[in-house]
Amino acid sequence: MTARILVVDDVLANLKLLEARLLAEYFEVLTAENGQQALDTCASTQVDLILLDIMMPGMDGFAVCERLKTDKRTAHIPVVMVTALDQPSDRVRGLKVGADDFLTKPVNDLQLISRVKSLLRLKTLSDELRMRAETATIGVEDLRGEGRAEDAAQVLLVDGRANSQERIIRALKPVAEVSAMSDPQAALFEASENPFDLVIVNSNFDDYDPLRLCSQLRSLERTRFLPILLITEQGNDDMAVRALDLGVNDYIVRPIDPNELVARSLTQIRRKRFNDRLRVSVQQTIELAVTDPLTGLNNRRYLDNHLKVLFNRARTRERPLSILITDIDCFKQVNDTYGHDAGDEVLKQFASRIRSTARGADLACRYGGEEFVVIMPDTSSDVAANVAERLREAVETMPFLLKEKGIELGVTASFGISSLSAAVETPEHLLRQADRALYEAKNSGRNRVVAAAA
């Protein structure tokens, strides 16, 4: 893993030392000797992570971090504060202004590289989601704006001791609803079945390795992106480093400062909610790309791709496959007489009748204009004809209601059907056969179902 890291420190020796350690791991390193230089560098250059000293003249690290996190252009960059300050109140203050982590001077090499790699993995995921959302012109909200105070977070606490469970629950009560469990395997099942925002794993078990649970949470599909906060003993650096390598998001050492616990928990919860919203945005974008916005049916793009899959599957399994193409009769007259708004309403109601008539396994798509296609897997031509006839009757016998104009409109439709046979060589061939059958239905009087010749 490589990345561009900005090191900010007013002491040249510290700057050079961190630069050398990072270069040894093949990171690209930029340096800044004060807060303003750091802000200028971030404004002009892509930066993947910032190691930020706190005690600097002029603008200290807290102020720099706050500036970075309130600017949408730089809010996504992880910030690790590197400081000689070791009081919990200093860490809490840093977390509140948006810092992602802390390293205490003198910096432990193993912790440094583990923290950096862990945060870069998380940033890579967020960057990918942000890029897809931005490409789709969906607005990306500020990370620090997620997780409003009124949104109660759901936290799963896995802790082997009742007294520490009580203390942690009491500390988090103002910001989260905490479910506490003592059995790690039961907790794994609970986490996979319920929508938690954070899992806190306390390493105080007498006969169980807490990293086993962390590893299992990361390996399951449903908990892969669930934030994990590990509670470790003071000085147990090996466990902390291994935890970060396994994908644990953060850790806190005992004795726990309640304010730091709350601050670290909220940081993870906000980040999860931000990424969750990005995933939803990306999923919605994917759905929009294959969905007709007017009728809600799948569009021509989805039809072209999915028909190939169903065609090849039917060929391989030697199963029947049929296609129905339908076209609203004299649809141009609807638009010319009542306007395009009325035409759109007819299309929406027509699509609704297709949905109610098609079976669960059938795929209904808007082919274009007033034409629609229904792909029917495992369906013979006789069954397909019955489905088409039911739909034809549903269109003909039930008037289309134009509410805004206060009228009921009689509409009919024509149908063409084709079915897979030895003579059909490609999905396109099958579709052309149905289209020719539809053309025949139109020419022979409309409002009828015609099956293509086998």
Identify whether residues 237 and 357 lie together within a single domain. Answer: no
Asked if residue 319 and residue 270 are part of one domain, the reply reads no
Neighbours of 30 (CB within 10 A): 17
Report if residue 295 sits inside a domain.
Answer: no
Where among 256, 289, 322 does a domain terminate? Answer: 289
Q: Are residues 208 and 274 in the same domain?
A: yes
Residues 188, 89 share a domain: no
- Residue 234 sits in the same domain as residue 116: no
Q: What's the pLDDT tens digit per position in 359-412?
A: 888 999 999 899 999 999 999 999 999 999 999 999 999 999 998 888 999 999
pLDDT digits (tens, 9 = 90+) for 347-369: 999 999 999 988 888 999 999 89
pLDDT digits (tens, 9 = 90+) for 223-256: 988 999 999 998 888 898 899 888 899 888 899 9
Q: Are residues 310 and 433 in the same domain?
A: yes
pLDDT in tens, 32-79: 999 999 999 999 999 999 999 999 998 999 999 999 999 988 998 999
134 has catalytic annotation? no
| Shared domain check, 218 and 267 | yes
| Domain count within the chain | 3
- Both 102 and 225 in one domain: the answer is no
Of the candidates 130, 128, 146, 120, which has an alpha carbon nearest to the alpha carbon of residue 50? Answer: 120
pLDDT tens by residue, 77-115: 999 998 887 777 888 888 889 898 888 888 888 878 888
Regarding whether 404 and 364 lie in a shared domain, the answer is yes
* DSSP codes, 98-167: T--EEEESSPPHHHHHHHHHHHHHHHHHHHHHHHHHHHTTPPPPPGGGSS-TTS-EEEEEE-S-HHHHHH
User: Of 91, 120, 140, which residue constitutes the final position of a domain?
Assistant: 140
Catalytic residue among 19, 260, 345, 370, which? Answer: 370
**CATH at residue 168:** 3.40.50.2300
Number of neighbouring beta carbons within 10 Å of residue 294: 13
Question: Within this chain, do residues 279 and 167 fall inside the same structural domain, yes or no?
Answer: yes
Residues, the chain = 454
CA distance linking residue 223 with residue 218, whole number of Å: 6
If asked whether residues 257 and 205 sit together in one domain, one would say yes
Backbone angles phi, psi at 136, to 5 degrees: -85, 10
| Contact present, 73 and 43 (Cβ < 8 Å) | yes
Tell whether 148 and 262 lie within a shared domain: yes
Of 113, 140, 167, the domain-final residue: 140
Q: What b-and-e string marks burial along 232-254, b requiring 16 or more CB atoms within 10 Å of the CB? A: beeeeeebbbbbbebbbbbbbbe
Residue 129's domain comprises 1-140
270 has a pLDDT exceeding 90? no
